[in-house]
Amino acid sequence: MLTVPAGPGPFPAVVLVSDTGPHDRNATAGEYQPMGALADHLTRRGVAVLRFDDRGVGASAGDLTNASIADLTTDIQAGMNFLRTRPEIDVTRIGLIGHGEGGNVALLAAAQPLPPAFVVALAAYGLPGNTIILQQQKALLRAIGVQEPEVVAFSKYQQEMQEVVRQTPDSKKAREALVKLMRQNDASLDTTTAKNRAAELTSFRYRYFLDFNPVTRLSEVKCPVLLLNGTVDQNVAADANLSALAKALGTNRDVTSKKLPGVNHQFQGDPAEWALVNGQPRETFSAAALELIRSWIAVRAQVK
């Protein structure tokens, strides 16, 4: 879906890139449509926006299951190439906005031939995949009230399972070893559940993400970059990930890194700020984030 501002062009444009997992063009989750909200905000303010269904979702063909981050880069490169054929788009002002894993996809595209004019990375990973997984698990346990000794013990157990996966390329052997380890850790765990979990841990996507290093090639990114994270993001901790990305982009002369107070991983602000619909609060993309993204792009893309 390409939305174009009113009036005469050519206009600057962006391609939106969704987070990990299957998403439609609006990244719909219940009634919340973050990419739809972002697209509407920017289009009404002079920036054309291209958004698309992920592989195998909605109107898109293909299979996301075995697609690496490098593979997904080709999808947004195709999006940029499409925009370059459109007379209403200024080919010198085409950028990328990626959320979560999509931010890493956008940054990788910026390190390759025919890069975007700018990149906005929303809650992108800065730490290695195996570290991210452990941090997400610990944050979840703490959020539900698990005590710290149990959190530490569980994290050690998860590291052991990660090492089995990384050290055993034969997936059948890895699954057998994982099931044994899981049953040793929890004798009450039934075999079917253990086998299903082992299958997930030896899947292509999990194996790929375990060894994923998000800062590789970032020294080759020369276009302007905006890095944004929310301070209450439980999936991608703001401080550690922003620092790692900013350091890797150190030779880039135009990098802006900001933390947004009270904003979560889905870029929702404080629930007290959500819009009321029929008297009930509805999840809303942070107004502060929308304005920061718009104003930063306006300067780099010279939005009229």
Note the pLDDT of residue 132.
95
CATH 1.10.150.20 fits 2-127+213-300, yes or no: no
Which of 51-65, 190-204, 217-231 ranks highest by mean pLDDT? 217-231
Note the pLDDT of residue 63.
85
46-55, 195-204, 265-274: range with lowest mean pLDDT = 265-274
| Res. 66 pLDDT band, cuts 50 70 90 | confident
Give the residue-averaged pLDDT of 60-76: 88
The pTM for the full model equals 0.92
What count of other Cβ atoms lies within 10 Å of the Cβ of residue 166? 13
Ordered strands of the 48-50 beta sheet: 2-3, 48-50, 11-17, 89-99, 119-122, 225-230, 255-260
What share of the chain in percent tops pLDDT 90? 81
| Res. 302 pLDDT band, cuts 50 70 90 | confident
Q: SS3 sequence, the chain? A: CEECCCCCCCEEEEEEECCCCCCCCCCCECCECHHHHHHHHHHCCCCEEECCCCCCCCCCCCCCCCCCHHHHHHHHHHHHHHHHCCCCEEEEEEEEEEECHHHHHHHHHCCCCCCCCCEEEECCCCCCHHHHHHHHHHHHHHHCCCCHHHHHHHHHHHHHHHHHHHHCCCHHHHHHHHHHHHHHHCCCCCHHHHHHHHHHHCCHHHHHHHCCCCCCCHHHCCCCEEEEEECCCCCCCHHHHHHHHHHHCCCCCCEEEEEECCCCCCCECCHHHCEEECCEEECCECHHHHHHHHHHHHHHCCCC
More confidently predicted of 275 and 147:
147
| Res. 276 pLDDT band, cuts 50 70 90 | confident
* Beta strands 280-282 and 275-277, pairing class: antiparallel
Is 238 a residue whose pLDDT tops 90?
yes
Where are the CATH 3.40.50.1820 domain residues in the chain? 2-127+213-300
Note the pLDDT of residue 88.
96
CB 107 within 8 A of CB 70: no
Is 262 a residue whose pLDDT tops 80?
yes
Is 40 a residue whose pLDDT tops 80?
yes
Give the residue-averaged pLDDT of 219-236: 96
Note the pLDDT of residue 280.
81
What share of the chain in percent tops pLDDT 70? 100
The residues facing 255 across adjacent strands are: 225
Give the residue-averaged pLDDT of 47-59: 93
99-126 residue pLDDT tens: 999 999 999 999 999 999 999 999 999 9
Note the pLDDT of residue 279.
79
